[in-house]
């Protein structure tokens, strides 16, 4: 039999007794609950005689009622207003980025990205060559803006038109970053918006973890603080020099279910208008139309708000266990970690000359533990002494066992 192509095919590495800590997806317990919510949502669609409507080609940015349900959900989850008319339903965040790159740019144009960044983005930008990828270092409060501006100054002159209003793109994950877990400071967000306007660049923010803050709200037991404000909100329409340079590229993959393949853009009006005239829209009409109706019903019922609250509680517990296990076992050897306050990932830095590829080989062989090697999260292959661990897929006991196994392997190599 051929080898599985990924972790999910044929159960791949997701076998009992294996700890596949590279998997950035919700776990089976979470999806079981989602299956029930979507079942109820489906019944409601039927009762309202809107099931058939959802099976037709549809309104390009998404039906009013669907966009309204998403806007209300995000307003509750962000603690900040989200306008229905700023939303455009997509087939998820990966598709969302690719559509924007192809719609606005050519293969000769540049896309700047954090170093490290989302591993699949890093791998694909080199392989697919949809645009030319340029890594920019990231600090604990966001991108190194000095380096970014130096690069922006070197951009070739481009004739801008209403169809092609940007000279380059910047791809960011400003909230609960994948893989470092960091969030951008308000100061960096303000400066980024200014740079985007000055150099006419489009900033695409993968906002897929933004509602998954697990920073405790000390004033209300059991509650969590909102995640920091998304970059899109810093691009104020009332500013005299507003042009509309930021897109929030959201997804339901991490908070509802990846298999739905549904997300949204929160975008400037000129972007929403422009996208209605692309091939996908003209030929394909509304994206993921049936799923969007189903998800909207679930959002209206409040079940997804409750689900997100449950995820935050569980993720906090799992992240705390992962952090304390690494610190108790490895701090004395100079291994350091980030301390994320939301999202899926823990970023582990091994001593300088240690290679995570070797650790992966050993941990797979001895402990059935796998993870993402740090260099995969870099367009230029940096971070070979880093490890990305995901805390979202497994329940807390398995997170503990998996991370303990990994620590044993690292310790044995360090003590050699
Ligand atoms: C930053 C980031 N963007 C996009 C995705 C994928 O989103 P989607 O499943 O909606 O395509 C992921 C999943 O790991 C991610 O971490």
Backbone angles phi, psi at 411, to 5 degrees: -60, -45
Secondary structure in 3-state letters for the chain: CCCCCCCCHHHCCCCCCCEECCCCCCCHHHHHHHHHHHHHHHHHHHHCCCHHHHCCCCCCCCCHHHHHHHHHHHHHHHCCCCCHHHEEEECCHHHHHHHHHHHHCCCCCEEEEEECCCHHHHHHHHHHCCCEEEEEEEECCEECHHHHHHHHHCCCCCCCCCCCCCCEEEEECCCCCCCCCCCCCHHHHHHHHHHHHHHCEEEEEEECCCCCECCECCCCCCCECCCCCCHHHHCCCCCCCCCCCEEEEEECCCCCCHHHCCEEEECCHHHHHHHCCCHHHHHHCCCCHHHHHHHHHHHHHCHHHHHHHHHHHHHHHHHHHHHHHHHHHHHHHCCEECCCCECCEEEEECCCCCCHHHHHHHHHHHHCEECEEHHHHCCCCCCCCEEEEECCCCCHHHHHHHHHHHHHHHHHHHCC
Ligand 1 centroid distance, CA of 307 (Å): 19
For position 397, what pLDDT does the model report? 97
Q: How far is CA 82 from the centre of its chain?
A: 19
For position 351, what pLDDT does the model report? 97
Phi-psi region of 201 (alpha: psi -120 to 50; beta: other; left: phi over 0): beta
Q: Region 238-267: what's the mean pLDDT?
A: 98
> How many CA atoms does the CB half-sphere of 181 hold within 13 Å?
24
Torsion of CA 401, 405, 408, 410, to 10 degrees: -130
Mean per-residue pLDDT over the chain, rounded? 95
Q: Which atom of ligand 1 is nearest to the CA of 94?
A: 11
Q: Which atom of ligand 1 is nearest to the CA of 92?
A: 10
Residues 21-47 have pLDDT tens digits of 999 999 999 999 999 999 999 999 999
Q: Which atom of ligand 1 is nearest to the CA of 258?
A: 9
The set of protein residues with a Cβ atom below 6 angstroms from ligand 1 is: 24, 92-94, 118, 173, 178, 206, 208, 251, 253, 258, 263
For position 277, what pLDDT does the model report? 84
- pLDDT bucket at 197, cuts 50 / 70 / 90: very high
Ligand 1 centroid distance, CA of 278 (Å): 23
pLDDT at 154 over 90: yes
For position 5, what pLDDT does the model report? 67
Percent of the residues in the chain that have a pLDDT greater than 90, as a whole number: 87
Euclidean distance between CA atoms 130 and 280, whole angstroms: 17
Higher pLDDT, residue 306 or 1: 306
For position 286, what pLDDT does the model report? 84
Which residue among 90, 96, 178 has the greatest number of ligand 1 atoms within 8 angstroms of its CB, and so is best to mutate?
178
Residues 289-343 have pLDDT tens digits of 999 999 999 999 999 999 999 999 999 999 999 999 999 999 999 999 999 999 9
Euclidean distance between CA atoms 148 and 123, whole angstroms: 21
pLDDT at 3 over 70: no
pLDDT at 8 over 90: no
Q: Region 63-81: what's the mean pLDDT?
A: 97
Q: Region 397-407: what's the mean pLDDT?
A: 98
Ligand 1 centroid distance, CA of 415 (Å): 37
- pLDDT bucket at 2, cuts 50 / 70 / 90: low
Ligand 1 centroid distance, CA of 358 (Å): 27
Which residue among 173, 254, 347 has the greatest number of ligand 1 atoms within 8 angstroms of its CB, and so is best to mutate?
254
Ligand 1 centroid distance, CA of 80 (Å): 23
Which residue among 178, 208, 372 has the greatest number of ligand 1 atoms within 8 angstroms of its CB, and so is best to mutate?
208
Tell if the pTM clears 0.75, that is, is over it. yes
Ligand 1 centroid distance, CA of 218 (Å): 30
Q: Which atom of ligand 1 is nearest to the CA of 118?
A: 1
Neighbouring-strand partners of residue 346: 389
């Amino acid at each position: 039999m051929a080898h599985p192509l990924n972790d999910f095919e044929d159960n791949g590495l997701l076998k009992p007794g294996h700890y596949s800590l590279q998997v950035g997806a919700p776990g089976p317990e979470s999806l079981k609950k989602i299956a029930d919510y979507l079942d109820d949502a489906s019944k409601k669609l039927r009762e309202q005689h809107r099931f058939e409507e959802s099976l037709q080609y549809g309104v390009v940015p998404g039906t009013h009622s669907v966009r309204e349900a998403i806007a209300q959900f995000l307003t509750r989850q962000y603690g900040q207003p989200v306008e229905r008319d700023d939303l455009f339903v997509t087939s998820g965040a990966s598709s969302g980025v690719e559509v924007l790159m192809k719609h606005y740019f050519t293969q000769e144009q540049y896309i700047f990205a954090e170093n490290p960044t989302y591993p699949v983005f890093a791998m694909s930008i080199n392989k697919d060559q949809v645009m030319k990828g340029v890594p920019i270092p990231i600090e604990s409060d966001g991108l190194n803006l000095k380096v970014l501006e130096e690069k922006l100054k070197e951009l070739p002159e481009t004739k801008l038109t209403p169809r092609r209003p940007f000279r380059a793109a910047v791809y960011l994950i400003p909230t609960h970053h994948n893989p470092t877990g960091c969030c951008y400071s308000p100061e960096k967000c303000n400066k980024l918006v200014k740079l985007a306007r000055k150099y006419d660049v489009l900033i695409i923010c993968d906002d897929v973890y933004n509602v998954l803050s697990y920073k405790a709200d000390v004033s209300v037991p059991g509650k969590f603080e909102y995640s920091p404000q998304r970059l899109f909100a810093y691009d104020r329409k009332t500013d005299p020099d507003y042009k509309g340079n930021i897109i929030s590229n959201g997804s339901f993959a991490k908070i509802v279910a990846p298999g739905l393949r549904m997300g949204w853009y929160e975008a400037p009006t000129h972007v929403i208008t422009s996208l209605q005239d692309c091939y996908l829209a003209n030929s394909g009409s509304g994206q993921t139309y049936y799923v969007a109706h189903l998800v909207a019903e679930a959002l209206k019922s409040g079940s997804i708000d409750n689900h997100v609250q449950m995820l935050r509680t569980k993720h906090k517990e799992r992240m705390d266990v992962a952090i304390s296990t690494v610190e108790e076992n490895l701090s004395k050897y100079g291994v350091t970690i980030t301390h994320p306050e939301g999202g899926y990932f823990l970023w582990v830095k091994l001593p300088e000359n240690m290679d995570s590829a070797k650790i992966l080989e050993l941990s797979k062989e001895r402990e059935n533990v796998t993870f993402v090697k740090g260099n995969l999260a870099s367009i230029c292959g940096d971070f070979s002494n880093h490890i990305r661990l995901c805390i979202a897929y497994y329940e807390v006991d398995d997170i503990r066992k998996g991370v303990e196994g990994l620590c044993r392997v690292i310790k044995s190599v360090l003590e050699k």
